[in-house]
Structure 1
Amino acid sequence: MSTSEHASPLQWWLPQALELEQCWQVAIGPLTLYLKRNLQEWLFSFERDNESELQCRLESNGAVCLPELLATQRFMFRHSPTTFQLKPKLLDRSVVIKTRQRVSIPPGENSVFYISSPVVIDITVQQPELSLLQLPVQRLSDTWFGPPTHHGELCYADKTQARHCLEEIPPRPHRAITAVTIENRSTAILTLDKLSIPLPYLALYGHQDGSLWTDPIVLRHENLQSLSHFQLGQTLPVGLTSQQQLAPAQFKTDSRGLVRAFTDIFQH
């Protein structure tokens, strides 16, 4: 197998080329993909290992063939493209994170948390570029965030630690990290045990070390019950530039910049 000129074993999202009749296996976190290129077709199969969800796992190696017990999808061409690319994308809904412990922020204070979320992999072939299949690395359950009316929002639910220290973040190639600054500009203590990350409003970036990052965000609480002022952070994480953007934001915020970010009940 030949790789792109700047390919790195850590940057699994870079284009890769396969010769005819070659197979390839790529394991990214709990998801393992199997790919094979034939003269007039590309073959794909995949499996998930739930026990690997909390592990740092990134493997790329030639496979003898596609596993027989897995369902295989076939994509037919007159002449099969030589190159494929696995493009990470953010989820299409906000993700609700339940914190392991309640977090309280006094009036006038702010705090930064680093929260990760699993990505979706867009399997494409190149020249011309064509998206064949999109697979979430992890299957997340649905949850309703907000009051039980049309004012709430259908989200994904995930469990992760809201880490306060950047050095404590484990290297996980299948999850994108969001730096979240929470500002409490109200007159009472802000206490929360759930936090909604508005992923569709964020762009995705890839670091040379293989880590994935989103735009940083600021959530400002101003006595607006469960609504928070939302804005993008002014600077990207250290080591990232706009040239390293892998996927743009799916939506733009409106002029008010209000999102439902916190739970509806605050303990003061």
Structure 2
Amino acid sequence: MATKDNILRAGESVWWGLLSPPVGLGMCWHLGPLTFVVRRYEQEWQFCHRSSLWPDDTPSSWTLSEEGDNACAEGTIERHVFSHTNEELLIEPLLADRSVVIKSAGPILIPAAEQVSFYVSTPLWVRARLQQRHHTLLDIAATRLSDTWFGPSTMEGELCYATTTSGRLHLDDLPVRVHRAITPVRINNAGEQPLKLEKLSLPVPFLSLFDTGTHGLWTEEITLHHDERKELAQVVVGAQPPPPYHQAQRVSASRKTADKSILNKTFGALFGGLIG
């Protein structure tokens, strides 16, 4: 009988890694609100997935087992057909394919000349791709998100996903949610007036994922410098998560790359346009 240890080579501590299941075997993940099944046939990789409603503040865990008869009842089925299926399948976590608009549970006021760090989280995506060909077969969200437009007008901005956050200030207040990634956000109010923060756009397609172990998956730290005397806020993306996770292992790269000027133009304008 196949087990989690000899099919998911990354081991029991993480839900991602390489799969090389025998023909005819199906494996089932329960990852917070997401259930997805991978089945291998002689000429086909088949996926079934469904996502249930899941309150944002609910802690989550994951399990991996052989597929049961009703593991993915009423789910979406995708079939990928080949001449043969003798390649390894890589299951990996990713961040969203669009920016995520974070709306706070209530307005947050940051006095002039103050710096504050928040911990916010966004849902993960699950990607399955053939290890040798680098061919993506599956790219799905663990949590269903609504669409929203974010920008200073209906003519300027971008289509994003929307989620809410409590804007936690301390690590100890963070629930363990394996289907979400934590982004540390530092806001520097360099202006002369208090800054009212109600929502901002996180550029998650430009962020990587790091495995911190005890506190799950994190991204690099984002620093936003706000000054009402300037048209754009300055956006700085760090090289890794902040302490105590400087040494966290990178497990997936960003979906997109951009230099400093592009980040400032794209996200600094949105940040400056909706707060203050």
TM-score (norm 1): 0.88
For structure 1, list consecutive stretches of 5 or more residues without a partner in the other structure.
none
- State whether structure 2 residue 192 is matched by structure 1 residue 187: yes
Moved more, 22-31 or 246-255: 246-255
Shift, 1:113, TM fit: 0.1
The residue aligned with 2:35 is 32
The residue aligned with 2:212 is 207
| Matches of 1:239 and 1:254, distance apart in 2 | 24
The residue aligned with 1:173 is 178
Q: 1:202 to 1:233 in 2, by over 3 A?
A: same
The residue aligned with 1:63 is 67
The residue aligned with 1:264 is 274
Partner letter of residue 3 of structure 1? I
Q: What SS does the corresponding residue of 1:162 show, helix, strand or coil?
A: coil
- State whether structure 2 residue 112 is matched by structure 1 residue 107: yes
The residue aligned with 2:165 is 160
Partner letter of residue 244 of structure 1? R
Contact 1:34 1:45 in 2 (8 A): yes
Shift, 1:224, TM fit: 5.0
Q: What SS does the corresponding residue of 1:102 show, helix, strand or coil?
A: strand
Shift, 1:265, TM fit: 4.9
Contact 1:207 1:244 in 2 (8 A): no
Contact 1:205 1:213 in 2 (8 A): yes
TM-score (norm 2): 0.86
Moved more, 202-211 or 116-125: 202-211
Contact 1:9 1:60 in 2 (8 A): no
The residue aligned with 1:221 is 226
| Matches of 1:189 and 1:250, distance apart in 2 | 33
| Matches of 1:10 and 1:46, distance apart in 2 | 22
Moved more, 202-211 or 91-100: 202-211
Aligned positions, number: 265
Partner letter of residue 62 of structure 1? E
- State whether structure 2 residue 70 is matched by structure 1 residue 80: no
| Matches of 1:265 and 1:178, distance apart in 2 | 19
What is the root-mean-square deviation of aligned Cα atoms in Å?
2.4
Matches within 5 A, 1:141-160: 141-160=146-165
Deviation string 1:183-238 (CA, Å, 9 cap, x unpaired) is 00001011111122121222222234471111111001011577421001355233
**Identity, % of aligned positions:** 32
Shift, 1:159, TM fit: 1.3
Instruction: Give the one of 92, 99, 112 matched to 1:94.
Output: 99
- State whether structure 2 residue 47 is matched by structure 1 residue 44: yes
Shift, 1:120, TM fit: 1.5
| Matches of 1:68 and 1:155, distance apart in 2 | 30
The residue aligned with 1:255 is 261
Give the number of the structure whose residues are more often helix, by fraction: 2
Partner letter of residue 250 of structure 1? K
| Matches of 1:70 and 1:171, distance apart in 2 | 26
| Matches of 1:153 and 1:226, distance apart in 2 | 18
Contact 1:95 1:157 in 2 (8 A): yes
| Matches of 1:188 and 1:234, distance apart in 2 | 30
